[in-house]
Amino acid sequence: MGYIMVDIESDGPIPGDYSMVCFGAVVVEPSLAQTFYGQLSPISDRWLPEALAVSGFTRETTLEFPKAELVMRDFQIWLAAHSKGRPIFISDNNGFDWQFINWYFHHFTGANPFGFSSTNLGSLYKGIVRDMTQNFKHLRKTRHTHHPVEDAKGNAEALLTLRDEMGLKIDL
């Protein structure tokens, strides 16, 4: 099994009605060298300007991105090549990120290589420090910019800190 830190940006709150604009993934291991970045053309005519603004793209720019089916197939191939066994999905906000990745995989490839579960980095940290009011974000080294690869790297750095400095038992 291999942990894959994922981050997505979208133009709205839910998949199907709105579109995933781009996403990034990084294999969680010390070098953080294995990354994936995908930009996807919209799958819906609906979009919220304030949601799209987070990504830094305009609607016109996103319309030129590759088709979602092609990007998801490329991601599927990348996962098979870069994870040890079944990949394990982990993210900062898995309630949001997971719904898009899961929906897109099932819709465009017929299956989700991550299976049916995901892990939330924030909840994991809260459990380790035994305090539901705490936040892991100070453990990031890479600045959070809303570029999904950079954000995934920062979150992976935090997970590695949980392992290396806080005693989290995790098989990477």
pLDDT of residue 156: 98
pLDDT digits (tens, 9 = 90+) for 53-79: 999 999 999 999 999 999 999 999 999
Concerning whether 144 is annotated as a catalytic residue, the answer is: no
Residue from 107, 144, 146, 147 carrying the catalytic annotation:
146
Question: How far is the C-alpha of 21 from the C-alpha of 55, rounded, in Å?
Answer: 8
- Do the strands 87-91 and 35-39 form a parallel or antiparallel pair, or are they unpaired? unpaired
User: Which DSSP state fits 138?
Assistant: G
pLDDT of residue 21: 98
**Can you read off the two tokens belonging to residue 1?**
């099994």
Do 90 and 118 meet the contact criterion of CB atoms below 8 Å apart? yes
What integer best gives the mean pLDDT of the chain? 97
Question: How far is the C-alpha of 52 from the C-alpha of 106, rounded, in Å?
Answer: 23
